[in-house]
Amino acid sequence: MSAAKTEERPGSEQSLAEAKHAGMARSKPRGRCIAVTGANTFLGRNLIGLLGEAEGVTRIVFLDLKQPQTLGPKTSFYEVDLTQSGVDSRLAEILQAETVDTFVHLAFLESPTQATAWGHELESVGTMHVLRACHKHKLDRLVVTSSALVYGAAADNPNFLREDRPTRGLQGAHFVADKIDVEEQVAKFAEQHPQSSVTVLRMAGLLGPTARNYLSRWLSRRIVPTVLGYDPLVQFVHEVDALAALKLAVERRESGVFNIASEGVLPISTVIKLAGRLAIPLPYGVLRRVSGLMWVAQLSEAPPPFMALLRHLCVADGTKARTVLGFRPAFSTRDAVLDFQGALQLREAKLLSAVT
């Protein structure tokens, strides 16, 4: 992996040699230095401003294939490809040179992909590289995002799933299996590094006016297929609350796994109505076959295993995040849907630019 062109202005892309020199000057930093992978994910892009204004944060190091559009005076950027072999050594050098104390790992897919091998390299193998680098470096805090989908949707699920429930996933869904593998790697790292605070945030489905993922594309369809005879309760987390929870996890030394979700649940039929869409119930077998054909033709936002979410519960219990992490969502599941629907109406009326 090549080092990027160096500029002298603050917030620019830095060479490793320059960073090492700066790191020696910061050998006794007065504030925190936070490294962030996935700078171009929704959470990564929006975390820039939050961390830039955070008290006690003196430097933010973003790691990604492409530099974010906006960098602040506290930020620097390194071009890093987590799918490349040997990248853990490069990462360890950057962490040492920048005297990083907190690592926020956000380099995860926001939607399923047909490039399952690449997705596995990015998430599972990429996390292995990240953890190897953190092992070589004396790290104070590690924060990793995950998904409530790791619980899976099943007929025997309780009404609310706590963090101690098994992670059964969705059979045949590589997107979810990779996230389970990531969590297992992180749990092993936490066990082997008790001196580090390790936090995993299991996010409910992210929804809001600007978030763009498989859920937003699903609810953007004018006609939304559902499963005939089923109407399970679902939950989301508003994009603003997801960012607030992430900031809390960075600021507080609270180790463990935390479910992050908005208050309240809604039947799928109500969600579709609130979004201003029309539901078309189909027999489950038919829907699986149709979704499979559409997925192969790249006309669907999710593969067939995700159809289980239209039949069975997968609702996370947010009690632990509230009592231990101090996370109190400002928006309900209904609010998240309504905010999404309001922005969708404006985009469809050409009054708001499309989210990419």
Query: Which pLDDT tens digit goes with each residue over 82-128?
Result: 999 999 999 999 999 999 999 999 999 999 999 999 999 999 999 99
> Which sign does the torsion angle of CA 269, 271, 275, 281 carry?
negative
pLDDT cut 70: percent of the chain above it: 90
Whether residue 305 is predicted with pLDDT greater than 60 in this model: the reply is: yes
Q: pLDDT of 24-41, one tens digit each?
A: 444 444 579 999 999 889
pTM metric for this prediction: 0.90
List of E strands, 30-172: 32-37, 57-64, 75-79, 102-105, 141-147
Q: Residue 241, SS3?
A: helix
The pLDDT of residue 55 is: 78
CA distance linking residue 145 with residue 244, whole number of Å: 13
For 122-131, letters b (16+ CB in 10 Å) and e give bbbbbbbbbb
pLDDT in tens, 125-165: 999 999 999 999 889 999 999 999 999 999 999 999 999 99
Of 241 and 11, more confident: 241
What are the φ/ψ torsions at residue 71 (nearest 5 degrees)?
-125, 140
CB 37 within 8 A of CB 105: yes
CB distance 161 to 316 below 8 Å? yes
The string of pLDDT tens digits covering residues 214-255 is 999 999 999 999 999 999 999 999 999 999 999 999 999 999
Question: Between residues 73 and 308, which one has the greater pLDDT?
Answer: 308
